[in-house]
Homo-oligomer: A and B are copies of this chain.
Amino acid sequence: MPEIDDATAERHREKMAKRKAVQDAEVAGKTVEKGLLLVHTGPGKGKSTAAFGLALRMLGHGRRVGVVQFIKGARDAGERRALAAFGDAVAWHTMGEGFTWETQDLRRDIAAAERAWAQAEALMADPSIALLLLDELNIALRYDYLELGRVLAALAARRPELHVVVTGRNAKADLLAAADLVTEFGQVRHPFAAGVKAQEGIEF
């Protein structure tokens, strides 16, 4: 890197001091605390992974986390084993039965979604849970395995301090409208396109 002369350093200092003032004012203006409804959607990779990262963060603060998987994944092996290190602080429930093209059984898919939703409601009612991860709930809603109205009503009526993160592609518009934070995961480039297979620690 080139040497920085004093004038450059001073211009930088002044610019950053102004920026800090703006940042500080912004932070001071935020005063509301409440449980958030977060939605991770879009075609890109990382929707569930980011939700598990959030779980990790919450666990780091000594809080409990609930996980309900609406689609049973072969892909969760790594996270599940890692989160086992936190023992009781993670309530993990895999209720789904695999992707719908694996089961090929509509009635079984619907029954699995119903069981998963019942588990989600139980965890919503458990005051020890600070964050509830409803993994791939968007898939169950998209295929109408669960009624959207019922899900939205329960989310709206949840404990006010409970954070909920919903993952999966094709989130319903009414769920997005109800959310406090929506992140759209855009796929810019994916290694599968170059013939790279799913690898341990990356895709599962």
Interface residue ranges, A against B (CB under 8 Å): 1, 4, 8-9, 12-13, 16-17, 19-20, 23, 26-27, 29-34, 36, 38, 40, 42, 44-46, 48-54, 56-61, 63, 77-83, 85-86, 100-107, 110, 114, 130-131, 144-147, 163, 176, 179-192, 194-202, 204
How many copies of this chain are found per oligomer? 2
Collect the chain B residues with CB atoms within 8 Å of residue A204's CB. Answer: 57
| B196 near A36: Cβ-Cβ < 8 Å | yes
Contacts A30-B196, A45-B181: A201 and B130 contacting too (C-beta < 8 A)? Answer: yes
Collect the chain B residues with CB atoms within 8 Å of residue A202's CB. Answer: 36, 38, 54, 57-58, 163
Distance from A139 Cβ to chain B, minimum over Cβ atoms (Å): 13
15 A-B Cβ contacts within 8 A?
Answer: A12-B106, A45-B181, A48-B53, A54-B202, A56-B79, A57-B79, A57-B202, A58-B78, A60-B81, A61-B201, A176-B188, A183-B185, A183-B187, A184-B188, A185-B186
